[in-house]
Each structure stands twice: as C-alpha cells, then as structure tokens.
Structure 1
C-alpha cells in the first residue's frame, strides 16, 4: 500500500460515529493511528467543515460563500435602496435565511456534532449561537455577514494548509506502486511491496526505483532530489548502493533488491515526516489547553453580559444587551489562535522538508530556535568521510609514475580505505605488474615482491621493521602518512586525508552570525582535528576521543546551562545524540540508527543545513509569537469595546475572521521565505 499524506475529510454524516473527528495528518501506518487517537481536541489544528484535501478548484470552495454574498447584497439593496413593498415580513426573513443556509448550515451541523462528541464549547457553537441570536433580535444582515466572513476565512485557511502540505506531500509520492522485475530474463510488473530481497529490478530512463538495492549495471545516473533535495545528478558505479525514490536518468539499468519494501530508507523518511505533526510544540499544546478553558469562560461572560445589567441598569433593554453579548461571542472566538499557531509550525516543517531537513516534530522547531551551542563530529559531518590522497613526496631519483603503479597494484590486494584512496588517485591497476609473496602486516601495511625486489607500503613503523632508513620527521606531518620503500631504499611518502566539505567553513560562519558557538569532537588524530578546526575557524576542538569521552565533553558543555545540539553521522554518535537537547543526523541515506535516534535529519550531508535548520526554527517561533500577540491584542481591545456597547458585529467580524486571516497570511510567509 502506498504511503501518502492524507488529510481526512469530515464525513457527510459526521455524527454517525464518535471517531469522525477530522485530523489534518492521518498516516496509513497503524502506529500513526495510535497517535491520532490521543488527540482529544475536536478539531485537530482547527480542521473544520472546509478542511481536507482540496478537491476541485478554489471556485468550488468559495461557491457557498459566493451564493450567500450575492443573496446578502441583493437583500441589502432591497432594504436600503430599492425598498420594494413586497420585501417585508416573512418574505424578507425567508430571503435572509436562504442567504444564511449555504454558509451557516455546515457550521450548525458541526456544532451539533461537537456537542454529541462532548466538545460543547467549540467555535462552531460560538458562531452558531452568535448568528442565530442575531436573527432572533432581527439583525438579519449582520447574522448572515458574520457567518459569511467566517466561512470565507475557513476557505482561506484550507488553501493555506494545502499550500503548507504541498511542500511535504511532494516528498511522499516519490515511491512507485509497481516495479518491473526480471524473471527468467523476462520483465514482469508486480506490486512494489511484493518484491523480495534478491529480485532484479529493471529500471528504464525516467522511472523511479521502488526499493533499496545494489546497482548491477556498469554505471547509471540518478536524480536523488526526492531523498536529498539535491538536483545535481548522482552517477553510481556497479556494486554501489541505490535507494528507493531515485530516478534513473539515462540508460536501462538493473538493480538487485537488498532491502524489504517497508525497511527502505525512503519508507523511514516517509514515516518520519508523517509522524512529525503529531509531536506538538509546547506553545501549540498550551494554546490548545488555553482554548478549552477560554471558550467556556467567554460563553458564561456573554450570559452575564445579557442578564446581569438587569439588576444594575435603570433602562434595561434585553435586545440591546443580548446584541452586546452576541458581539462579545463573535469577538472571543479563538479562531486566529487555533488556526495560525499549528499552521505556523506546519509551515516550518514544510519549509524545512523542502530544503532537505526533516524535523521529527514541531517541538524540535521550538528547541532548535533556542540553540546556543552546536557540537559536531568531524568525519562525515564537516568532512566527506572519504579518504583522498593529498600529497606525493618522492625522492627525485625514483620514477614517480612507475612507483605509483606498483603501489597501486600492491594496494589492490587490500580493502582498507587508504587502499581505496590510492586506487582512486592512481587509476586502473596495471595488470602487467607481476606481484609475488604479498603479505599484509596488521595495523602497519603491505609488502610484496615485484621484479624480484621488495616493495613495502605502510606506516613508518613498518619501515623500521624492514630496517629501511629514512630522514622524515613524521611528527610535523598533519595528515595520515603512507611510507614507501622499494628494494630496501626509502622512496618517499603519500599523505592521505579526509577532505573538508565545500560548505563547512560557510557553516561555521553562519553559526557564529546566529550567535551559536561551534565545538568539534572527534575520535580522529588530534593533530588532524586541530588542523581541520583551524581551517574552519572553530576555536574549541578535541581529538583522540572515545565515545565515552565525547559524552563527558558534552556533559561539561551542558553544565553551562546552554541549549546544545549535537551533529553526528553514525551509530557511534548515538550516546551524545541522546544526551543533547537536539540530535541532528547527517545523512538521511546513512545508517538506519541515525534516522531512528536523531531529532532532526539532514538528508544531503551538507553541514550548511545546520544553520539553516536553526534559522527556520527561529523564524517559525517568531511568526508564531507574532500571531499570538496579534490575536490577543486585537481581541482584548474589541472585547472591551463590545462589552461596553461600542463595537458592532462588523468590528467583531474583523476581530475574529480578520485577525485570523492576517495570522494565516503571516504563517504562510514561512513557506515562502528564502533560507
């Protein structure tokens, strides 16, 4: 079954069951249902009668509001300009009722459903009694207008949420339902979930890979944007790992399945994103709890505004005080808060996903916004994690090209990362070189016989074992050194190092600009760590650390009471990832354990995503608090005016729907920001 980002619509008969509560995020994964069942709010993130997947055009969404608007405008034209004799009494009332029904009936229906489900004081209830009450005291145009503007606000809310969902949903339809497997050299199309480990998938140009596997073709280029956000094609060689969601770009390729459908990297990423909105930020949770207390209070206050003046006012007019109470109810509706705050966090998650950063919940957007210290691993985080030959220092009396070919031939007998680096530097092995008596000396290097002469390649301790004289001061060399001796003579050495990532230095500069202090912890040689730190501009760096040493260092940093993030790329970093306030994993395509343990996953291994994630968190938090102050500020002023009889239904509409729309537009800005 294809995993999708589903926005569950309200059933037509919403009162049929007790679990018809609309929910913005419903995962097909059974575990997600447990999460959604815990949501006790009638409207998860303010989902209403216009929420759900946007089916059809915006015109269809606005159609009920358009009908009501036309009827309302005609009625007001009759009332104030044309004034026909027949537009009186029951005809006039019936006209306004008909204008009210397209926008009011769905809300009244939801209010009834809310009450049936135990959520008596819902915003539907507030809008229902406010508008029906307006009809009761003869304020027909205002009753229709309030519900009309409320419905328009709901439609804009739907469009805003859909736009936010689009940033995330674009990731979630990346995996195909079907794959073509080769059975007896004949292609056969089957459901992707039916493919098993060992099956060979045939992938045509333009097709997406459905499962993780190993490339069997000599080479193939893939678009990996679905997984990494990187549009640049990635060329894979025979034997390299390829992942579900990658798109084949050039020739027909074959891939051997190595992972079950449900265990693929893409499956884990999809599950992570689907579950993200279930983890609520503290601000969001507070507003939800606040709304549950706030709404009943304003209902009781509205009742008090209606009846208490009878005991204190000389010329008490029930209609006048009821009107004030109805205005008070419309103003007090918590739409702006329960719409815009979840939408702000949702937009932050969507903006991050669009940039290849996966947050496991909106709560981590809040925490990362407060980060003051980023502690990072070196290898695989700030460096590429792949050794490269840096220097070749040979005695001029030796033929460099000839010696390198012999070294390459000898190193081809080893699987060590250094051997791989030398092979990549020199190129294809010269098969005309005849090797004899090849021996690997554990922890030191290799030796073998070529043309009857001994070739030794390894560290300088290995040269000491074979009594080869050299005059190189190893302590002054920063990189890992590979010494070479041929025919008992010292030839020279190669330096091998892990290359610093292109955007690593920019990352540190951006972190400092955000007021975040960087620190590097690594198990690598301390001289190498200090060299990399100096290159990047990191003042605090520590090398030669075991995993438990990293934990101690992080505990020392946390003792300063700073909010700390740790950035790592593998299982060895799990203890410090767990200890940090925010664990950030480099490499969504790396180890499964990294995706499981981290709070934030950076898919494309680019360290510059770290300050970007912090910036997104800060902007999201800023927008959320702007909306909170806007909603409370305007409502407080208009509530006082309404209770004092100085505000009409029109001001009430602005305080409710107008502020909600402004808050929505502000929240949507997050998705359009450039990070």
Structure 2
C-alpha cells in the first residue's frame, strides 16, 4: 500500500519535530535487537573460547570441573530461559513442549560429558527462536502499519479559528479543516464544494477520487489539492479505518485447517517422540551384543533435537500472516486464515450483477407514458415514492425528475422484495417496480419486452397501467479482466440478478459469462447456489453482503464488494474488497493459492529433512550438529520461505 502524503502517520509524527528524536527511534530499535541477541552472543563467545581451548591450544588446566563450569556458564544465558519456559509449560499441563525436548536433549548432553554440543544445540535453538519471534512480530506489525494510517491530531474549527486537538477528543458534528497533503483522521461529510482524495490507505489504489459536497469521506484518505472542511460523523474509535484495523488484527484468531491440524499433530507427535527416544536408549540392551548406555543415550538425544516441531509450529502461522498482510496491502481483507485456504480451492465464483460487475449507477434512458399530458404529474408521484428507497434505481429516477415534491402525502408505503414499491397517494394506489409487481396486483399492460434490453420500471396509478421508464447500468472497466483471470485460474463464473433476464443476458454476453440468470428473487438466488453446491463445487458468492445475506451464509466464502460503502458489509462477509474492483476477486484467489503453496512447501521441507536425519540419528550416523541443522536450520529456511509472500507483487490489471 502506497504512502503518498506529507502528513505523517502517528508512528512517524511523534518523531518529526526533531531530527534527533527520529534518529533515536532507530537507535531504540537497534538496541532492542541487540538485547534480544545479547545472551546468544555471550554464549557463542564462551563456546568458541572453550572449543579453542579443547581442540587447538589443548590447555592442561582446561579439564575436570573447570571445563564443566566454563561450559555451564556458556550454557546459562541461552539455556536458562528455555528451561524456565519448559517448567512453566509443565506447570500449565503441557509437559511435552519443544522447550521440554530441548531441555532434555541439552541436559542429557551435559550428563554424558558432551558439553560443547549441549551448549551448541541450545545456542542455535535460541538464535532460531529469536529469528522466529522477530519474523512473527514483523509480519503482525506489517499488517498493522499497512492499515493504521490514522493521524493522532486534527485541526478543528472552533469560534471561527483553527485549533489542533487529539483526534480521539473530537465529537460528532464538529468541523475539521484539512490542508492539501494532509491525511484525514476521522470519518465525515464533505462541506466544501469539491475535493480530490488519495484513498490508498483504504483501497490499495492511489488513483485520485474526487468527492463533492455532501459525499462521505473516510479516515485515512489524503487531501490532494485544496483546503477542505469536513463535518465529523463518527468517533475516532468507530471510524471505518479503525474497524478495518480491528478486523485484520483479529483475523489471525480464525485458524486455517492446516494450522489447526499442525497444532493437534504437534501435541500427539511430541510425546510419541519422547517415548521413542526412551526406547532408543534402553531397548537395544535386549537386542545388541555390546550395549553401551552412553552411545545409545547420545543417539536418543540427537533424535530428540531433530524431532522438535518448531519449524512447523512457527512457519505455518507465519505463512498465513503473510497472506493476510498481502491482501491488506492490496485492499482485500480476509477475516481469517481459514478463508485463504477456502479461496485457494474455490471452483465457482457466483456474482451479483449490480454493483459487482456493473457500476450500480443507473441512468434513465427513456420515459414512455400513455398520456403525455399526465407524464410530468405521474413522474412527480414516482419520484416522491422512490425517495423512500435507497436502491440505485431510486437515485436514477431522482436525477431524471429533479427535486422531490414534499407536499405530496404518501401513506402506507411498502417495499415488496424483488418486485418494487407500493403506496397510497391522494387515496389512490401507486405501484412502481418490475412487471412481476404489475402481475401481482392484476394490472394489465401491453408492452413488447423482447425489444427492450434495458431494465424496465413499470408504473401503475389508480389500478391502471400508466407507462414505464427504462434504466441502464454500465459494466465496470475491469469486469472483463476479472472474468478472464477467473477463467485462467480454471474457476467457473456464474451471474445471478434480480434484474430482467434480457438485461442480465446482455451483460453476460459482453463479459463472456456462460451461466447467467435473471428475474431472481432472493430465495431464487439461494436455490441457484444450492443447485451449484449439489454438484460438489466450492462456491464463493460476491455481492453487497447485506441484501444477499442468505446466499452469503450458504456459500463457502462470502465476498463483499465496496467495503467503503456499507458498514454492514464488514460484519457479514468473510472477505471484504475495499473498493469496487471485480479484478480483486481473482487476486484474492491467487493470494490464497500462493499462501497455501508456501505453507505446504514448508510442511514437506520440514518432514522430509527431519525424517532423513531422524533415521540417521537413530542409526548413529548423525551427530548433534546435523540435529541442529534439522531443527533450527529447517525452521529458518521455512521462515525465509514464509516471509516471501509478504514481498510478492499481486496485480489486478
């Protein structure tokens, strides 16, 4: 996600007033890393000196208890924290933890006099743990920094004068001033006539978005041109960006099946390994001619070091963190790592038409009424009734007719799902909707619908058919690219719509979608998705996440388009695309596929190398040094592989 402003985010802002403060932040970070590695550095230095005294200088005094104490001092900085963790795990009922394995292995190495190897195993294990911790912390902080674009302070207009105050102290209804290049700290309504914003913090797209007076503007947007004024409509903690940030931070709580399996596997696998190590130590006594306890104990300790499951336990969640972060960077919010897995295997993407593949911005093409003399009067009535609806059709009619005549008395206004609107005006019934609405109320009409491609809005007044309006919507610029990319991914596409079949077919033909169905009520959409699922296909449904809630619930994963438009969308969908680009659908699937690929690469890498070295260790052909590679080395390789996804580039064009 690009950062394109002169106003800093809250992490940067606190260091901007003084260059020394900024340098100090880097210094603090370096000090923190130094502290993390300090115990390992001390142990490494002492171990190195000990090895030199043992093998190169071969000092006469470096024997017996002096040698033991030296290596114990080398062991304590890295070993003591691990032994402490092992003890705490045991007191909490988790006996067979990786800390326990490392503790047994290294204490056992000391017991048989293999001091350098005991220190080396714990040293490399501790270094691996630091790297793992750093990688996980960085993955989480990357996700947060991608989204936490809220400035700490805003400029509020009070008594006609600008005052800088903390964003969390600003109340709803207050007026804030935003200079060119500044980032908005709170959600609000634009009071200025026009303003241009960079919405990258919310959508992943840096393309300017021009707003006009009365439009909603959101925290994280950057004012690109002129001084603007905004009326605050939501508290700091309730802003869209705050909710998105909370959503993504909580996403890691929803575990993918692979993650859950590995956790369960580790709980069963680790005690089995411990009992096998006990078996390797004592069972050969009954089968081997020359049994040497020390040799078989050493083999068992090597076996324990190799078998530590940390490579799997750490690298797999890290892979999913990376996938969630990659999505966030591109304006795609996954509510959990489990949805990355589902999307990776999706077979059929079912899409709503209006607002998903089309702009959702309707325009009246023509108004045909039986009696042209009454046309203006009828349109006034229609406009008054449609003003009670938030449907895009209502907006199109309002733009065509003009201002609503509020002197008209509307009674018993009723919205009939999938049909239209009904009301009483001047004691007479007014119906505005599709032809199904006319059929429901036995209104006779004589229209040749075969020649009408556009959406038809029929009007009946006082039990008589009065005429109709035709309304057209335009296909989104990247809808064709989205459909083509889904085909390239071998994913089927299906379009469902409540719009008339001729309109749906016209759009489907434009985009090359073979399966398209129109004239559908909400329950019809549910039945269509059930029909697809009955073929044992995994289904993703893409819609607004509110009106299509039953279909979203039925599908394997619900994707909401236009996360900027509806708060309810964030609540209902499994995946939220923060802008209206359908090309983000194949991108989300691709991120899921790449994440799953990396996770399984790590699983295969860990199991293969560990299996080979385990067999060698049990046969006495592998030493502690090979064991260290099989544990720490594999873990680090898996981590490096997992963080790759955070650096991958996913394009929607």
Kept in 2, the 8 Å contact 1:4–1:172? The answer is: no
Report whether the alignment pairs 1:132 with 2:115: no
Partners in 1 of 2:576 and 2:545 — Cα distance? 12
Q: Say which of 638, 650, 661 aligns to 2:625.
A: 650
For 1:227-266, what aligned pairs fall within 5 Å after superposition?
Answer: 227-266=202-241
CA distance, structure 2, for counterparts of residue 172 and residue 240 of structure 1: 22
Listed as ranges, the matches of 1:382-531 within 5 Å are 382-388=357-363, 475-480=450-455, 496-531=471-506
- The 5 A counterparts of 1:249-648 are 249-388=224-363, 475-480=450-455, 496-648=471-623
- Residue 463 of structure 2 is matched in structure 1 by none
- Pairwise CA distance, 1:638: 1.7
Measure how far apart 1:495 and its partner are.
7.3
Separation in structure 1 between the aligned mates of residue 29 and residue 222 of structure 2, nearest angstrom: 28
Who is 2:152 aligned against? 177
SS of equivalent residue, structure 1 residue 358? strand
Q: Does 1:108 align with 2:79?
A: no
Q: Distance in 2 between matches of 1:481 and 1:620?
A: 45
In structure 2, the CA distance between the partners of 1:139 and 1:570, relative to structure 1 (3 Å rule), is: closer
The CA distance in 2 between the partners of 1:337 and 1:570, in whole Å, is 36
- Alpha-carbon distance change, 4 to 579 in structure 1, aligned in 2, over 3 angstroms: farther
Corresponding residue SS for 1:572: coil
CA contact (8 A) 1:227 1:356 kept: yes
Q: Which residue is equivalent to 1:216?
A: 191
Alignment partner of 1:206 is 2:206: no
**1:68, 1:186 → 2: CA distance?**
62
Deviations 1:463-522 (A, max 9, x none): xxxxxxxxx987434235899xxxxxxxxx997522211111111111111111100001
Q: Show CA shifts across 1:122-181 (max 9, x none).
A: 111111121121112111111111112112212221332234224311234222334333
Residue 95 of structure 1: aligned partner: 70
CA distance in 2, matches of 1:606, 1:425: 27
Contact 1:642 1:648 in 2 (8 A): yes
Q: What's the CA shift string for 1:241-283, capped at 9, x where partnerless? A: 1112222233332111223433322222122112100011111
| Contact 2:144 2:249 (C-alpha < 8 Å) held by counterparts | no
Structure 1 segments unaligned to the other structure (5+ residues) = 6-52, 393-407, 430-435, 445-457, 462-471, 484-492
TM-score normalized by the length of structure 1: 0.78
Give the Cα–Cα distance (whole angstroms) in 1 for the partners of residues 292 and 131 of structure 2: 38
Shift of 1:363: 0.9
Contact 2:560 2:573 in 1 (8 A): yes
- Residues in 1 aligned to 2:392 and 2:562: alpha-carbon distance in whole angstroms: 19
Q: Distance in 2 between matches of 1:594 and 1:481?
A: 28
Give 1:17's aligned residue: none
- Name the counterpart of 2:127: 152
Equivalent residue for 2:442? none
8 Å contact from structure 2 (residues 315, 642) kept in 1? yes
Q: Distance in 2 between matches of 1:588 and 1:68?
A: 52
Matched residues in 2 for 1:363 and 1:177: separation? 34
> Which residue of the other structure, out of 170, 174, 181, is the alignment partner of 1:195?
170
In the aligned structure 2, how far is the partner of 1:358 from the partner of 1:59? Answer: 35
- Aligned-partner Cα distance in 2 for 1:419–1:363: 39
- Under a length normalisation based on structure 2, what TM-score does the superposition of the two structures give? 0.80
Report how many aligned residue pairs link the two structures: 575
1:359: Cα distance to partner? 0.7
Mapping of residues 40-79 of structure 1, within 5 Å: 56=31, 58-79=33-54
Secondary structure of residue in 1 paired with 2:560: strand
SS in 2 for 1:386: coil
User: Which secondary structure does the structure 2 equivalent of 1:323 belong to?
Assistant: helix
Extract unaligned runs of 5+ from structure 2. Answer: 1-8, 12-27, 368-378, 414-419, 422-431, 436-446, 459-467
The residue that corresponds to 1:450 in the other structure is none
Native 8 Å contact 1:280 1:363 kept in 2: yes
Distance in 2, matches of 1:170 and 1:605, equals 23
Larger mean CA deviation between 664-673 and 278-287 belongs to 664-673
2:641 is aligned to 666
Aligned equivalents of 1:553 and 1:423: distance in 2? 33
Distance 2:308 2:545 in 1: 48
Cα distance in 1 between the residues matched to 2:570 and 2:472:
27
CA distance in 1, matches of 2:31, 2:363: 55
- 8 Å CA contact 1:373–1:562 kept in 2: the answer is yes
Q: Whole-Å Cα distance in 2 between the matches of residues 605 and 280 of structure 1?
A: 27
Name the CA distance, whole Å, in 1 between partners of 2:469 and 2:264: 65
Query: Aligned partners of 2:41 and 2:471: how far apart in 1?
Result: 71
Contact kept, 8 Å, 1:390 with 1:495, in 2: the verdict is: yes
Aligned position for 1:39: none
**Deviation string for 1:337-394 (max 9, x for gaps)?**
10111111111111111111111111111111111011000111011111257899xx
Q: RMSD of the alignment, in Å? A: 3.7
C-alpha deviation, 1:112, in angstroms: 2.1
Does the residue aligned with 1:571 lie in a helix, a strand or coil? coil
CA distance change for structure 1 residues 631 and 514 in 2, over 3 Å: closer, same or farther? Answer: same
Cα distance in 2 for residues equivalent to 1:417 and 1:139: 77
The equivalent of 2:14 in structure 1 is none
